[in-house]
Amino acid sequence: MRFNEKELVSLSRQPSEMAAELGMRGPKKGDVLKKRLVKLVVNFLFYFRTDEEEPIGALLLEQCRVEKEDSQTFSIVFLDEAERKYLFECDSEEQCGEWIDSIIKASYEFMRKNLIFYRTEIHRLTGKDPLEQYGISDETRFQVSNGLQLMPRDTSSL
């Protein structure tokens, strides 16, 4: 699958508040723990060899699960390949917790759900749709639904 690598590399250089040297182990048998500079930028987790400018790789953090493995280790697993675990070893339990938190919140899906929640609450409390003033109330991605799936809903009542 083709992707715009140059732009992704450029993205990896953006400032990030979550960047640290962690022990990282890939998902394949035989992968060993290596020291990597791990950096979270939007919904991507980049990993670099220490002191190298260009990342070795990137993980898109959508449709994944983050779990605590032990007091200082967390794992990322992608839902389409749940047996393959990426492991990350932190320096402390606190750091581990911060990474887990940040990665959970780093997905577009997560943000979308929060947005819908706020929109719903604000409407419930005020009777007004807060997105209307920005002209984005009809965008598919902001629609509310009853179920797990977001489906286009008739929001003409709003």
Q: Does 30 bind other proteins (CB under 8 A)?
A: no
Q: Of 42, 94, 46, 43, which is closest to residue 68 (Cα–Cα)?
A: 94
The CA distance from 143 to 132, in Å, is 13
Task: Name the minimum Å distance from CB 23 to other proteins.
Answer: 18
Task: Name the minimum Å distance from CB 21 to other proteins.
Answer: 19
28: left (phi over 0), alpha (psi -120 to 50) or beta: beta
Considering only residues 76 through 105, tell me which ones interact with other proteins, judged by CB under 8 A: 78-81, 97, 100-102, 104-105
* Cα three-residue angle 86-87-90, rounded to 5 degrees: 145
Instruction: Annotate each residue in 54-73 with x if it binds other proteins (CB under 8 A) or - if it does not, as one string.
Output: xxxxxxx-xxxx--x-----
Q: Does 110 bind other proteins (CB under 8 A)?
A: yes
Q: Does 51 bind other proteins (CB under 8 A)?
A: no
